[in-house]
Amino acid sequence: MILVTGGAGFIGANFVLDWLALHDEPIVNLDVLTYAGNLQNLSSVWNDPRHVFVKGSIADYDLVEELLRSHRPRAILNFAAESHVDRSIHGPEEFIQTNIVGTFRLLEATRGFLAAQDEAFRKSFRFLHVSTDEVYGSLAPVEAAFSEDRKYEPNSPYSASKAASDHLVRAYHHTYGLPVLTTNCSNNYGPHHFPEKLIPLVILNALSGKQIPIYGDGMQVRDWLFVKDHCSAIQRVLESGKVGETYNVGGKNELTNLSVVNTLCEILDELRPLPHGASYKAQISFVRDRPGHDRRYAIDAAKIERELDWRPSETFDTGIRKTVEWYLANDAWVENVTSGSYRQWIDRQYR
């Protein structure tokens, strides 16, 4: 049995689906179901006896303690997080509560649980903390990509809260001997992505005939990682990662935001063409840049490639086409997540 936190969100749900497709080992899935947590992501495994869903927060110490005591998982994979930079700028407190306080209480409950177990169980147990490359700050145009020994320089409330959670995980390993692993990933994309992030936002706005907003000049650079590749990397780290180590996970796809948007428009022009040969690119609109917008992220994934023999399977060209095709084929999912509150948020953010 493994315990997954945040398993109804974008990355967590993809991990749950992939895990159950590949393993017989059951999952206890703990998710508080905020706006980004969607049970529809898990519809294909809802009646699977290997999947036990529990609604609740990682900040609820008593609940986590009870789950650990009753299920005795051999590993915890912590995906639970508030993760949208824009939302952290407008309302940072939720990010502090979930990403810092929540991680602290999860660690505390885990520490108490392990103290009551025998040495063999403690030795085989793992606490895998899923984090982000944004904790490293922003890179200059020709600067070397983020490696695991890069100093932390977070620039948004979101990245600062994730940096704090990473430090807590490290501290619990060095102080209490908790058997931890940490992964720092680049920008994920793929199925079930909540449509406030760039790629799903572009797809849905384009199809709805709305403006496609691009912050600033669109020259911000990100390394794009297909979510299924990220999930395979996490499984590999769980299986073979060295306790106490950090592994950066990247897709080897450095692209500007404008390039990503143009690519999406070109795929949509092909798969869902507009009348009279018009292009979705005509809907692109440059909007005021967000405060403190990091200019470039890039991941050096040499360590996980060298030590754990992991590499991404998808190129950006193959992964982005699969992503667009998924959104075109899942109208019901899109309709469900794009509620009134979502539309109000988008209108306020990009007005």
β-strands 254-256, 221-226 pairing = antiparallel
**Helix or strand holding residue 291 (H, E):** none
Q: Tell me: the pLDDT tens digits for 119-173?
A: 999 999 999 999 999 999 999 999 999 999 999 999 999 999 999 999 999 999 9
Q: Is 139 helix (H, G, I), strand (E, B) or coil?
A: coil
For the chain, which residues make up each domain, given as ranges?
Answer: 2-187+227-250+291-313
Q: What is the DSSP letter of 244?
A: T
Contacts of residue 208, defined as CB under 8 A and 6 or more positions apart, other chains included, come to none
Residue 82 annotated in active site: no
Q: Which homologous superfamily is 2-187+227-250+291-313 in?
A: NAD(P)-binding Rossmann-like Domain (3.40.50.720)
- Residue 133 among the catalytic residues: yes
**Crossing angle for the helix pair 61-71 and 103-115, to the nearest 10 degrees:** 40
What are 182's strand-pairing partners? 129, 246
The catalytically annotated residue of 31, 82, 86, 133 is 133
Q: What is the pTM assigned to this prediction?
A: 0.94
**Tens place of pLDDT for every residue, the chain, 351 residues?**
999 999 999 999 999 999 999 999 999 999 999 877 889 999 999 999 999 999 999 999 999 999 999 999 999 999 999 877 778 788 899 999 999 999 999 999 999 999 999 999 999 999 999 999 999 999 999 999 999 999 999 999 999 999 999 999 999 999 999 999 999 999 999 999 988 889 999 999 999 999 999 999 999 999 999 999 999 999 999 999 999 999 999 999 999 999 999 999 999 999 999 998 999 999 999 999 988 899 999 999 999 999 999 999 999 999 999 999 999 999 988 888 876 554 454 455 545
Residues with Cβ within 8 Å of 117's Cβ and at least 6 positions away in sequence, in order, are: 125
> Could you say which of 31, 82, 158, 247 is catalytic?
158
Please tell me which residue in 31, 134, 166, 300 is annotated as part of the active site: 134
**Active-site residue, 134 included:** yes
| Spatial CA neighbour of 79 closest among 272, 291, 235 | 235
Q: CA-to-CA distance for 34 and 59, rounded, in angstroms?
A: 13
In sequence order, the β-bridge partners of residue 146 are 299
- Name, in order, each residue with C-beta under 8 angstroms of 282's C-beta and a sequence gap of 6 or more: none
